[in-house]
Amino acid sequence: MMEQYLALKREAGDALLFYRMGDFFELFFEDAKVAAGVLDIALTSRGEHDGAPVPMCGVPVHSAEGYLARLIKGGCRVAIAEQTETPEEAKARAKREGTPSSKALVARDIVRFVTAGTLTEEALLDPRSANLLAAVVPLRDSVGIATCEISTGRMELEECAPEALDAALARIGAREIVVPEDWEDRPEGATMRARSDFRSEDGEARLKTIHGLATLDGLGNFSRPMLAAAGGLIAYLDHAGRGTLPFLLPPVARSGAAHLAMDAATRASLEICETQSGARQGSLLACVDRCSTGAGSRQLAEDLCAPLGDREAIGARHAAVQRFHRDPLLRADLRSALRGVPDIGRALGRIVAGRGSPRDLGQVRDGLNQARRLRDSLRRAGDLPDLLARMGEALGGHGALTDLLDRALVPSPPTERQQGGFIAPGYDHALDDLRETSGNARKAIAALEARYRADTETPSLKIKHNKVLGYFIEVPAKHGDRLMAADSGFTHRQTMAGAVRFNSLGLHEEATRIAEAGAHALAAEDSHFEELTGEVVSRREAIAATAAALARIDVCAALAERAAEGDWCRPEMLEEACLEVTGGRHPVVEAALAKSGERFVANDCRLGPEDRLWLIGGPNMGGKSTFLRQNALIVLLAQAGSFVPAQAARIGMVDRLFSRVGASDNLARGRSTFMVEMVETAAILRQATDRSFVILDEVGRGTSTYDGMALAWAVVEAVHTTLGCRCLFATHYHELSRLADSCEALSLHHVRAREWKGALVLLHELARGAADRSYGLSVAKLAGVPEPVVKRARAVLDKLEKGRSETGGLAAGLGDLPLFAASTRIEEKPVDVLGERLRTIDLDALTPREALALLYELKREATEPRSD
Ligand code: ADP
């Protein structure tokens, strides 16, 4: 056995090997140690190998899914080795091969690799989030990325520049990434596969075979890197499924310009799908998501992670949301209908992957039936914008299939296929007959029981059934003798502690009828299952389109619901570089405040070509970050197709969104935080265009005051003058306000605060102009810093401020500093004051005494420093 195990383990490589032994999956050696640690189960040992006991642990087959889920979460990959023959078959084989039957070892084979990116089990997947697998391959100067969600079969191919890879991967958020093993700059934690898996010709050929196409031209324009990545992805799926490929829809090419680009730092700082601490609660997604279905939530998460870059497509989504927004009744109807719709996308994925159950067929049936009813309600409602009309059409067209499934299946089919009982009565007469036969036999057995009780005068006689004996007659031990008699018609089978068990000819006959009819019925159900599955598989693309349409409709209705709930508005999307938000709010902060009964103060933002950079000052805790982020989120929501938390919004299309937060807010990250801040800021300066929107929050604060201010100064100038993009910049460096003199499209703003009876009141209201002072000490007092410390700080501050007013402050002279674009101006020659004086003296008009006095004066002037 060890030999067989070790051979399979070699095949499994770095995956943990689940080795099937009867009702358990066993793990040995290192695998056992790892699994016992992750799963917190007992580590035992078994036999010896090379003179040492073999560590072992095991999990029961019937509850293996839960354990698998935990191992996958713990970052493991698992190879499942199943028994591929029964012990009887093994014995028969041993006999044929002439080995003693005691040595017969059941054949086993790895049937599947379970990895984070290749899960389809309902129990292992979160219904509300996508489970993506990505293959990434560098090719020449570019990188190809193929992604797929195998639970629904969706597949996308894209290509990007190497420096844009991080942003792309951040957007995709794959659970597992596969790369060629020889790639040095591979993303962290990626699974490595042979380079030969990533050949573009193979990728192309496999896509053609899978989709039965002679050419891929009809699907879109796929570049070599995209096809190479597709090749790597399919080869990996093939490996994981041991030759069985999951359901894959035709690939869609994703073009870079189709989306609003955001890098990983921006995503993290905007807390789109999860907060910086990794929780869904508190993220934008959690705050916006009112979807009725898991598929809708997955679609919404994807939309928010990849907002669109195309104004028309965005408008189409807004129109759909608006249709539901203005029709609360239609919205409520649809949303309640959607709530009961099963996840047909994922059920279909399992069916196509060959792991479907009767319940999955039932879900497809119910889902398609409900989809048709939804289509009818949409049609009745009428006046549908394009997107909804299109989605509505995709909901129908499955009449023949649903008729078939309606007739064939019982109302709630079981998850187990082996036990049968899922084909509805009336669908197959032969099956009905078989069922009747076994039903009759069961009745006959009940009648036998009554007759035997009477014949033997033993009212406690029972006919029972168990797995080992089948049907048998049982009487309490004290009545056993009566049935033992040779002519009683009963044959003895077993004597237990308190009971004796018998058989009889009549019972044997009926039991045989049940067993035979049962076996035939099971076989018949099994073949119906195959037929029905085949029907579903043959219509998989249409079913997947229906699933996608359901998700899209759910998202639109949910966004309309959210807009109605929060009084959001439809943004107007424009091409010019403006961002005009009236009464904008931060949806997450607003919701958090509402919980404690506080009101959020709405603020306006007005960026345009003439005034595109707002420098925002004011006290800490005054609401600067909140204002910055709310505007970034408004852009993101708008381009994702949502209404926005504002009274009105006119938004010029944004190509890239950047958000950066000064280092000291990110201390938890450990690395040299200032370094991180600068690396991230550098990325903006390299990548932003005049159509981008940038928010910079206290950038420069991670270092000393002078360095920090100098950097902040230079960054503002670069954003203003070189990039020319829309930008909100929060800072507590007063000195930066001098930039308003040299940067014509920059304006000064501050969050208002008032001191009232010695206490600081933060108004969270944005106003024009520079902040008058920093209120830092008042904030310290507000935060509970002891009074003597605050007093002492005030004394120090007074001294500092006095010094500042005398010298002109830290930034004295910076206002005159030429912008770096103009800093190459030719230096002026220093003025020669002494020469000037000498040239103007009229020597003839001087007395000798005056001349001597002048000479003294000039000498003094030449040796002393000038004071001007
Ligand atoms: P800053 O960046 O100026 O230090 P924040 O934006 O972090 O300030 O805001 C601090 C706190 O003030 C927030 O956590 C929130 O509770 C509150 N706040 C911010 N903006 C508003 C607003 N517009 N209305 C009401 N409360 C706000």
For residue range 581-604, list pLDDT tens digits in order. Answer: 999 999 999 999 999 898 999 999
Task: Specify the pLDDT at position 824.
Answer: 34
Q: At residue 521, does pLDDT exceed 50? A: yes
What does the block give as tokens for 342? 């099963």
For ligand 1, the distance from its centroid to the CA atom of residue 621, given in whole angstroms, is 5
Q: Which pLDDT score, from 0 to 100, does residue 178 have?
A: 92
Mutate to test the pocket of ligand 1, among 270, 271, 585, 589 (most ligand atoms within 8 A of CB): 589
State both tokens at 589.
Answer: 């902060």
pLDDT band of 851, cuts 50, 70, 90? confident
Q: Give CA 156 to chain center in angstroms.
A: 16
pLDDT at residue 113, as a whole number: 87
Cα-based angle 208, 313, 288 (whole degrees, multiple of 5): 105
Reported confidence tier of residue 667, pLDDT bands at 50, 70, 90: very low
337, pLDDT greater than 80: yes
State both tokens at 485. 């008699």
pLDDT digits (tens, 9 = 90+) for 703-716: 666 777 777 888 88
Measured CA to CA in angstroms, residue 702 lies from 276, 626, 732 at distances of 19, 20, 13
Neighbouring-strand partners of residue 581: 605, 649
586 CA distance to ligand 1 middle (Å): 10
Burial class for 754, CB neighbours closer than 10 Å (0-12, 13-18, 19+): exposed
Q: Ligand 1: which of 590, 764, 778 to mutate, most ligand atoms within 8 Å of CB?
A: 764
Determine which of 261-275, 283-297, 428-442, 542-556 has the lowest per-residue pLDDT on average. 428-442
Three-class SS state of 420:
coil
pLDDT of 865 reads 57
Listing DSSP states for 487-523 in one string gives TSSEEEEEE-SSEEEEEEHHHHHHHHHHHHHHHHHHH
Using pLDDT thresholds of 50, 70 and 90, give the confidence band for residue 433: confident
Confidence check: pLDDT of 698 > 90: no
CA 600–ligand 1 middle distance (angstroms): 9
What tens digit of pLDDT does each residue of 784-837 get? 777 778 788 778 877 777 776 666 566 655 555 544 433 333 344 556 777 877
pLDDT of residue 808: 58
| Residue 763 CB less than 6 A away from ligand 1 | no
Identify each DSSP E strand in 343-495 by its residue range: 462-466, 470-476, 490-495
- What are the tokens at 832? 């020669």
Confidence (pLDDT) at 556: 96
Q: Give the integer Cα–Cα distance in Å for 587 and 565.
A: 11
Backbone torsions φ then ψ of 5, nearest 5 degrees: -60, -50
**Mean pLDDT within 335-359:** 88
| Closest residue CA from atom 4 of ligand 1 | 621
The reported pLDDT for the residue numbered 317 is 95
3-state helix, strand, coil in the chain (%, to 5): 50, 20, 30
**Residue 683 pLDDT greater than 90, yes or no:** no
Q: What is the per-residue pLDDT for 364?
A: 93
Q: Is the CB of 600 under 6 A from ligand 1?
A: yes
Half-sphere CA count of 863, side-chain side, radius 13 A: 6
Q: Are 162 and 175 in contact (CB under 8 A)?
A: no
Q: State how far the alpha carbon of 264 is from the alpha carbons of 120, 172, 427, 675, 750, in Å.
A: 28, 10, 55, 16, 29
Give yes or no for residue 631 CB within 6 A of ligand 1: no
Confidence band for 369, pLDDT divided at 50, 70 and 90: very high
Using alpha carbons, select from 150, 142, 136 the residue that is nearest to residue 192.
Answer: 136
pLDDT digits (tens, 9 = 90+) for 624-645: 999 999 999 999 999 999 999 9
Mean of the pLDDT values across residues 144-161?
A: 88
Percent of the chain with pLDDT over 90: 26
Comparing 7-11, 425-429, 811-815, 855-859, the range with the smallest average pLDDT is 811-815
**pLDDT at site 120:** 74
Average pLDDT, the chain: 84
Coil, strand or helix at 465: strand
Number of H helices, E strands in the chain: 29, 27
Is the model's pLDDT at 266 over the cut of 50? yes
Kindly report the number of other CB atoms within 10 A of residue 381's CB atom: 18
867 pLDDT more than 50: no
Find out whether the beta carbon of 621 lies less than 6 Å from any atom of ligand 1. yes
Q: Using one digit for the tens of pLDDT, what is the confidence trace for 210-251?
A: 888 888 877 777 888 899 999 999 999 988 888 888 888 888
Residue among 558, 611, 566, 562 at smallest CA distance from 584: 566
